[in-house]
A = this chain, B = another copy of it.
Amino acid sequence: MKRFYFQKIKWCALFAVLIFASALIVSSQVVFAADSPKYVFLFIGDGMGLPQKMAAEKYIGKKLVMNSLSAHGVTTTNAADRFITGSAAAATAIATGMKTNIGFIGMDSNQKPLKSIAQIAKEKGMKAGIVTSVSIDHATPAAFYANVPSRSQYYDIAVALAKSGFDYFGGGGMKDPANKRENSLNFQGDALELAKKNGYRVVTKKQEFLALKPSKEKILAYNEWLQDGGALSYALDMREQDISLAEFTAKGIELLDNPKGFFMMVEGGKIDWACHANDGAASIHDTLAFDEAVKHAYDFYKAHPKKTLIVVTGDHETGGMALGFAGTRYESNFKVLNNQSVSFQRFGDEILAEFKKKESNKVFDAIKPLITKYFGLKFDGGTQDSMVLQSYEIDRLKSAFERSMAGDTEEKSYDPEVYLLYGGYDPLSITLTHILNQKAGMAWTSYKHTAVPIATSAAGLQAEAFNGYYDNTDIALKIMSIMGSGDKPVYEKQSQNQTAMVQGR
């Protein structure tokens, strides 16, 4: 009898396991299973709302990788003290699960330091990597390894980086490693030297970078040539010898992979900068470059489907980009954006700067060939050709050209009406992108961020948790919970969302 009983239980157990497994397969995926992902990716498109994603999708005529993930949510973004958030407060929310004030990095509203997902990953024995297309000490990346009350403390942030112990930093450079601008009272020597002393190998040459192999060395890599503010080029301006955001991401995966897994944050930071400047083509190309980075993680996920979680979000929308313009009514023609071959930044920094050197160029006629060459806008031609400028558009360009040649910038444009036109940017460059965007059927309302919710998507282990309507702080809390740090939440979540929404100006 005893033997029979034992056999019966054995049979039953086998049968039950089979039934249990098939039930799980038949039903939808299990939310919050016991297993934690070994590989966690968090992608943040800075300034990337739904308009930015849809513009890029329309431009290439096929679905973005980030829009193809299995889970999708709508995410509110407000800061603790303002309805329209900033990158520091938003990144702190996404990195730590806590609402904070504008400008704060890794600290709550009372300046209490907070622990980020990346730091939690390190504590769990995972490796951690931070990648961005802007400077590596910029607000978004900084919120994952630094704790300072002002995002402008670039030296202090660089020191925090050097002391972070994170395994991989890739993308843009440092803005103030020598404490020349910040004049921090807590000077600890050159931050780059400190990083080296702490075991970081600094790599800037593309060949050397591409040849990197996994080792015990920590890596701090940035592209040799940096375009503006210590950042990578706009994707539209990228040259063969530059390391792209996708390459920094792919190398990160290669270097970080290890038996204990890793957490990697990748920021598409120049989407935001392009949108501040209302440059639609630059925004689209940087969104596509960001999506290419996502694709590397997605391919990795397909190879490790049961061990990987990918979350793709934005920190806020920038520019009030809309896929419709009064002048073009119901029509769109995104193909005209193909005519733009340089970003507003490169046009101003290189082409216009060179042009201004010649005294005889002070007349509007002189700039016309360059406008046609770099933006495709024509001064003559039939009415059939949508690239031929209308007389009122030429008037706008003429006024902008005159202001550009006079060297007007934000400092000089206190006149609110002038600010509405140019937002403190080079007047000619921004008028060119405005006009070209409008011909595409795309328009803008601001040179700053806006408060419309953004979209989050996710794939992989427990990705279903990212379906729904939730706050940006929930992104961190969900990831922490999924990573197994959620049993006793690191930070008790206050009823932040509602409070902040009411309080936020």
Contact = CB atoms under 8 A, between A and B. Distances in A.
Contacts of A73: 72
Interface stretch (A14-22, A190-198, A215-223, A354-362): A14-22
Contacts of A12: 8, 11-12, 15-16
A469 interface: yes
B28 A58 contact: no
A155 interface: no
Interface stretch (A118-126, A238-246, A266-274, A325-333): A325-333
Interface residues of A, number: 82
B445 A63 contact: no
B57 A501 contact: yes
A30 B27 CA distance: 5
Contact of A445 (B24, B61, B322, B423): B322
Interface stretch (A132-140, A173-181, A447-455): A447-455
Contacts of A324: 84, 317, 320, 445-446, 448-451
A31 B63 CA distance: 25
A446 B326 CA distance: 4
A362 to B, nearest CB: 27
Contact of A467 (B57, B72, B76): B72
Interface stretch (A158-166, A199-207, A413-421): A413-421
A23 interface: yes
Nearest to A58: B83
Contact of A54 (B325, B444, B451, B457): B451
A467 B464 CA distance: 9
Nearest to A62: B498
A368 interface: no
A294 interface: no
Given A29-B28, A417-B392, A498-B63, A468 B72 contact: yes
Contacts of A83: 58, 323, 332, 441
Nearest to A455: B74
A94 interface: no
A505 interface: yes
Contacts of A54: 76, 451-453
In this complex, the member of A30, A58, A83, A505 whose beta carbon has the largest number of chain B beta carbons within 10 angstroms is A83
Contacts of A320: 320, 322-325, 443, 445
A99 interface: no
Interface of A: 4, 8, 11-12, 15-16, 19-20, 23-24, 26-31, 50-51, 54, 57-58, 61-63, 67-74, 76, 82-84, 86, 102, 317, 320-327, 329-333, 390, 392, 416-417, 419-420, 423, 441, 443-453, 455, 457, 464, 467-469, 498, 501-502, 504-505
24 contacts: A4-B4, A12-B12, A16-B16, A27-B28, A27-B30, A28-B464, A54-B451, A57-B501, A67-B74, A71-B468, A72-B73, A72-B469, A320-B323, A320-B443, A323-B450, A325-B446, A326-B446, A333-B505, A392-B417, A444-B445, A445-B445, A453-B455, A455-B469, A467-B468
Q: Considering the complex of A and B, which 6 residue pairs feature the smallest CB-CB distances, nearest first? A: A320-B322, A324-B450, A443-B445, A467-B467, A23-B23, A322-B445
